[in-house]
Structure 1
Amino acid sequence: MKKILIMLVVLLSANLISADTLMGQVSDSDSGEAITGVSVYIKNSNKGIITDKDGKFTITSLEPGEYNVIFQRLDYKILEQVINFPDDRILNIRMLKKPTEIEGMKVSSTVAVERETPVTFTNMSDDMIDEANFGQDIPMLMNELPNVFSYADAGSPMGYSNMKIRGFDQKRIGVMINGIPLNDPEDHNVYWVNMPDFAESISNVQFQRGVGSSIYGISTFGGSLNMQTNTTKAEYGSEVFGNYGSYNTIKSGFKTTRNIKDYFKLNLRLSRIISDGYRDNSATEQWAYFTGLSRIGARSITELNFYGGKEITHAAWYASYEADLEENHQHNPITYDNEIDDFSQPHLELHHSFMINKNMSTKNSLFYIKGNGFYEQYKFDRDLWEYGLVDSSDTIEADLIRQKKVEKNQYGWVGNLDWSHYLGNLTIGSYISIFDSEHWGEVKEVIGSDTLDIDFAKGHEYYNYIGEKQYYTFYANELFQPMQNLNLMANLYYQIINFQFQQNESGNFTGEYLNSYKVEYNFFNPRFGVNYNFNEAMNVYANISFAHREPTDDELFDTWDGPDDLGVAPLFAEADTIVVGDQIDHIEWSDPYVRDEKLIDYEIGFGYDTGSWKVKTNLFWMDFQDEIVGYGGVNDEGSPIRGNADETIHRGVELEIETELLADLKWSGSFSYNDNYFEKFIMKDWDENWNVIDVDYSGKKIGGFPEIIANSKLAYRWNDLFTSLQVQHVGKQYLDNAENEDRIVEAYQLLNLNISYEFAEFLYLADLSLNLKVNNILDKEYETSGYYDAWEGANYYFPGAGRNIIAGIRVEF
């Protein structure tokens, strides 16, 4: 009936249009749905247009005669129709999907499926990303998802940002782009500031909570975040966009998607973000780019992606003393104007998926990630011996400006074979990564060097070390369906990790001050799960998973030391002095004090989906052994050092609800309760007389994560108007592990508003959309995170931004 009415409107409109105008509508031959983004053009002419969101098109200024009209979209068969104009003035075009065998083939094996895969996850669609995105870092975009806690060092959502889930920090959350791991191999972190405006180029997000199975990425603890870019996105056209808001935040950019001949699609984006930041002296300037070229063949998909960005960010990575924030809530303890982080990180990916037959397919990905940059600091009263400027310690001190530099290279391959067999699906795969890095420090300036008895030249190098790391991972995943409503999962995962570290001669790093080590880890992480569908609406699932995590490069040094500190040894029990000739060449270390972490994750969940109501809830119990902590062990002399907590527990409940209250009014919400505590942990510490003492934290709550996180959002859509009102609650956090009520980040609630309006075919030229985002409408003063300084006996906090507004415009051609 709807189609008939549309055609009647088109026919009645025929008498109202000019006699030189060709018009019509394009729809799918199977579903009858209108197809947007179809290129309609007259062969051998410059006349053409793109179908709108209703599949309609209009071509004007045609002379009477015979024409060949071409209809083209990447995922449909090209259609050429001969018309006699003006007799054929109104066209009703039906296009066929390309008869390829790749329909249904998994473009990425990293996606879990509702009511099939027995894991806990939440999806974020393209529309949800577009509605929420105004240029913020990815963690700030994720903070509406269940049990995700995000905050930014600068207070505002651009710059250095952090993400936690279930009490696990970013080191223990796996992040993937198109199935390729993003976590830094050395320190396991993700530096989101190096991926500016990345949300403009992603089409969907899946955040899996709990241990990450190998089929969803490398083994992780808190969760796995998988982002898919929109290289093969069907719609094409061009967009120009811009935002302006509080703290002189400006975002501008351009992106376009174009067909090249029949099978190729080109996706380009360039954008720039600048912001002064909420905190003092926390400005950021970021440039971003994305280039994607894809080809969809009869049995294959090939994608070539090149993306990345460059950022220059003023440091705000230290929390502020509580009293300073009371005087100035935008306080930043870093006052040196040029304390900046300057870094670029380009990514190159090549993906190829091939359909061997209707039951078997392969996917192979090659990638290269390059990191290059530095950060600059002003340091007071430094011992110049540590910087290789004098021969003896404690002789000359001076203020200086230093730069710590790094260059990183990561090469890798991710491959899998997917086989749909009788009653199941088997995936086997591998991940191989080869990583190398060089770290070095340079002294840019010694204040008053001309008055000191030193030989100094700008750019003097005072430390240099290299790291090499290899990952070899193999896995097999079976999803077995013995009956229609029952799915069983078995995942076997084996990983070999090799890490080599070597300090090179530089400054006063020589002989006995040079250290090296080699470590190897072998992990077996099985996972088993079951999903049962009671009916079309209800399902229940459960799984048990095992995971390991090796210590990072900095975790193999003591809490306040690092490989750039002269005279500091790594945390190893055995030392072998290497002598060349009659001189000590370096020290080789073995048998690390710090052990790898181990986790057993138990999950059970329930889902209910009727269309108008969607409810998901789950319980989790995570038994965490040998968690790496600041003072968890002792060395051979009995002194406290970085070590492992015997056993910690992360447990809780998570709830998601979504419902349609009225035809255009939706409500969604989430609630998470976390109970994270030390089951058994006796920390070694010093008393006021520097005697080693035992501090029993067994039964104490783990600091740094809220007990309760909740979100509630009311969204209203009427024609081209969209608006949403969100309430976000973040519960109390302890600043340390003593469970002291004087050392907390107080709970806070934020009210946020989002409004957008779309003008279709504005002035008959383009689609125009306007949007407005108001964060913290009630202008609440709050802190997001922090820590307790035991030496000073003081609380330190990262402040959150007050009321802030950002407005945007987007023009689509």
Structure 2
Amino acid sequence: MKKGVLFAFFVCLTGILSAQVQEKDSTEAKEIVLDEVLVSSVRVTKESPVTFSNITKEQLAPRNLGQDIPILLNFLPSVVTTSDAGAGVGYTGIRVRGSDATRVNVTINGIPYNDSESHGTFWVNLPDFASSTEDLQLQRGVGTSTNGAGAFGASLNLLTDAISEEGYAQLSSSYGSFNTMRNHVKFSTGLLGDEFEFSGRLSRIISDGYIDRASSALDSYFLQAAFRDKNTLVKALLFGGHEITYQAYFGIDAETLATDRRFNPAGQYTDENGQTRFYENEVDNYKQDHFQLHWNQRLGRGWNSNLALHYTRGRGYFEQYREDDDFETYGFEPVTVNGELITETDLVRRRWLDNDFYGTVFSLNRDFEKVKFILGGGYNWYEGDHFGEVIWARLAPGADIRDRYYDDTSRKTDLNLYAKANYQWNDQWSFYGDLQLRSVNYQANGEETGLVDDTFHFFNPKAGVIFDLNRNNNFYFSWAVANREPNRNDYENGNPKPERLNDLELGWRYISPDIQVNTNLFYMRYRDQLVLTGELNDVGAPLRANVGDSYRLGLEVDAALKLGKSFMWQPNLALSTNKNIDYVFQRDGVLEQLGNTNISYSPGIIAGNRIAYQPNQDFILALLTKYVGKQYMGNIDAESSVLEAYTQTDLNVSYEIRPSSLLKRIVFSALVNNIFDAKYVSNGYFFTFDDTFSNPGTTTTVEGAGYYPQAGINFLAGIQLEF
């Protein structure tokens, strides 16, 4: 019955739109680049009432020396980035408007990239992916309907390399602080017979990391085969990576931060002689491979379609040395040694993930006389195995090596259908509508999650109006609803509810040849928002909990101004207030009404600035500055949870020469990060617990915090040769 209602809904909507428009003759239809159809269903333009930023591969190139994509996006409006290893290589993260990566919906060529269970994005699994990215778009707020889990803070849409008309070979190498090195080789055959192209990339990145032992060994590849004629584009993509990363998610306390900010407690243990040692293989070892097949077709009379199939295979483990662990956890039987009952042992364990993610996404696009219409959707299936093995133990009575001490499975299906339309009423006014239906089922039998079998049905409407005052000034207003299901960690942490968001955006864009200004006000009102508590689970993943009502209210401004012929100034500023409404907390055994409190990890001020000097197309010198204001790592406004404001400034230079027809280009690039050597912390964690044992009969709430310090002044320098 429900499927029938969904089908009828979209049939009716399609019929209504078709009846209200006149078709243009196919000879008059606007030319659409078929590559763009890959992401047209999830991308927006200034004709849409959505707040967004676009970045091209040319803009990424000067700073693309091996750091992860979140770090390359650090200077965008409302963006805060983090790095466990402190230098932008390895595990990195991004927050937008205070929303963490589990709320930033990421698609690659329109295919969902967020992990189905955790909702997170792990860029460490796709090292050097920026080198195979044609362009990307970051939408802030709910944005437009997209594939995968709904966006609660932002959407990041990546388009991989377009077909190259001419063949080339490219060698690139960079080296920098902390023995960070990147090497890659990239090639394209160019168009063969005006229809076929083959291209690819192989990369390796290694780094010792700023934090002690926070090393990374990252391999990746990208292969593309493409066919293109006047009306058809078919792309087959195979890409992936293998990462081995020494863990640095523990952070350090305030005292250690003051005395030894590079200290890493991961893998620490005491040997039989009482000496402090560090286990050399406390690593994350994970492989991920992606296959995508895209068929884009121009159907005539303005119709264009995209059908894609995808499959992702992931497998790997996190290895840990555990001191004095309980036998009971692993099913070991207690033993008596020299008359003493032994119930604990030192051991090394591996916690495995083995998962498959596959499905299809599609879209059908049509430009009518006054309406641009998109009908699309997708069906995705995820299956994951979670299991643990003991690979060594000092004592393991009755156990065999690699016995599984837990063995969990999970499954998730995700169906979504959407219809979008832009209606051009006259030369100045246009209207936007976007309706999405999404159905999600999640099943799990984990020891931590318990038995889960939940189904969610979400309706996510969006509407807006755009007013073009003249060729330079564009105004928009939008209202969007998003609903989102809990993730696996939420189930492990309690009995979570789905969350709901109403997002209001009011914006003004000014565009001229020398000045571009984007200004917007936003009000994001949540019900049962799953906010970060500040705590981490035992593998470093952030924990969340439902709060009642909460909101984010803010102003964002970004601009690009040409100053003469050679200078470009690009400032941005985000001011916001982010509040939990009538927050309740139990302290010292007594329930307290705290009133409105600050939402965790939500700074009230975020500012970015880029000043670039470019006297010609071959040379560019840029100074980039980021300021992130004070933020709380918890939701109770505790002083011990404060993450202090910080400022970071980078210097970037790039110079290109064209020596001959054989060696087409030589590009020298250098990046000096944190040139003023600021001692700053971009991320941390906060926790509380009730002490009932120090003073029996009395409950005392204890607070604690950890910090992830970032590197002082450091550099990367590289050379790229193109033949």
Q: CA deviation at 1:151?
A: 0.8
Q: Which residue of 1 aligns with 2:229?
A: 297
Gaps of 5+ in 2: 1-28, 269-278, 336-340, 535-542, 690-701
Q: Which residue of 1 aligns with 2:470?
A: 535
Tell me: CA distance 1:652–1:275, structure 2 relative to 1, closer, same or farther (3 Å). same
Q: Which residue of 1 aligns with 2:216?
A: 284
Contact 1:212–1:219 at 8 Å: present in 2 too?
no
Q: Which residue of 1 aligns with 2:306?
A: 363
Pair 1:132 & 2:29 matched: no
Q: Aligned equivalents of 2:551 and 2:470: distance in 1?
A: 34
Q: Aligned equivalents of 2:565 and 2:509: distance in 1?
A: 23
Greater relative contact order structure (CA < 8 Å, 6+ sep): 2
Matches within 5 A, 1:55-454: 103=33, 106-110=37-41, 112-215=43-146, 218-259=149-190, 260-334=192-266, 335=268, 336-390=279-333, 396-447=343-394, 449=395, 454=397
Tell me: CA distance 1:718–1:235, structure 2 relative to 1, closer, same or farther (3 Å). farther
Q: Aligned equivalents of 1:407 and 1:395: distance in 2?
A: 34
Q: CA deviation at 1:115?
A: 2.9
Q: Aligned equivalents of 1:125 and 1:676: distance in 2?
A: 31
Tell me: CA distance 1:775–1:643, structure 2 relative to 1, closer, same or farther (3 Å). closer
Instruction: Tell me the SS of whatever aligns to 2:124.
Output: helix
Q: CA deviation at 1:398?
A: 1.4
Provide TM-score, normalisation by structure 1: 0.78
Pair 1:727 & 2:670 matched: no
Contact 1:680–1:699 at 8 Å: present in 2 too?
yes
Q: CA deviation at 1:102?
A: 5.2
Provide TM-score, normalisation by structure 2: 0.87
Pair 1:809 & 2:712 matched: no
Contact 1:595–1:643 at 8 Å: present in 2 too?
no
Which is higher, the Rg of structure 1 or of structure 2?
Answer: 1
1:694 partner amino acid: L
Tell me: CA distance 1:624–1:233, structure 2 relative to 1, closer, same or farther (3 Å). farther
Q: Aligned equivalents of 2:515 and 2:48: distance in 1?
A: 21
1:713 partner amino acid: R
> Residue by residue, what CA displacement relative to the aligned partner does 1:438-472 show, whole Å, maximum 9, x if unpaired?
1100011112x2xx7x1232212100010011001
Contact 1:102–1:299 at 8 Å: present in 2 too?
no
Of 378-387 and 274-283, the range deviating more from structure 2:
378-387
Contact 1:100–1:297 at 8 Å: present in 2 too?
no
Q: CA deviation at 1:120?
A: 0.4
Instruction: Tell me the SS of whatever aligns to 1:214.
Output: coil
Q: Aligned equivalents of 1:231 and 1:127: distance in 2?
A: 13
Q: CA deviation at 1:261?
A: 2.8
Q: Aligned equivalents of 1:206 and 1:220: distance in 2?
A: 14
Q: Aligned equivalents of 1:466 and 1:711: distance in 2?
A: 44
Q: Aligned equivalents of 2:75 and 2:108: distance in 1?
A: 20
1:184 partner amino acid: D
Matches within 5 A, 1:429-578: 429-447=376-394, 449=395, 454-503=397-446, 515-558=450-493, 571=494
Q: Which residue of 1 aligns with 2:647?
A: 749
Q: CA deviation at 1:319?
A: 1.6
Q: Which residue of 2 aligns with 1:645?
A: 547
Tell me: CA distance 1:327–1:171, structure 2 relative to 1, closer, same or farther (3 Å). same
Q: Which residue of 2 aligns with 1:87?
A: none
1:548 partner amino acid: N
Q: Which residue of 2 aligns with 1:784?
A: 682
> Residue by residue, what CA displacement relative to the aligned partner does 1:771-798 show, whole Å, maximum 9, x if unpaired?
1110111111111111233345333211
Q: Aligned equivalents of 1:207 and 1:798: distance in 2?
A: 26
Instruction: Tell me the SS of whatever aligns to 1:761.
Output: coil
Tell me: CA distance 1:177–1:486, structure 2 relative to 1, closer, same or farther (3 Å). same
Contact 2:41–2:376 at 8 Å: present in 1 too?
no
Q: How many matched pairs?
A: 656
1:186 partner amino acid: E
Tell me: CA distance 1:167–1:629, structure 2 relative to 1, closer, same or farther (3 Å). closer
> Residue by residue, what CA displacement relative to the aligned partner does 1:62-93 show, whole Å, maximum 9, x if unpaired?
xxxxxxxxxxxxxxxxxxxxxxxxxxxxxxxx
Q: Aligned equivalents of 2:722 and 2:449: distance in 1?
A: 58
Q: Which residue of 2 aligns with 1:597?
A: 499
Contact 1:716–1:723 at 8 Å: present in 2 too?
yes
Pair 1:800 & 2:702 matched: no
Contact 2:284–2:317 at 8 Å: present in 1 too?
yes
1:648 partner amino acid: S
Indicate the percent of aligned positions where both proteins have the same amino acid.
33
Q: CA deviation at 1:406?
A: 1.0
Q: CA deviation at 1:363?
A: 0.7
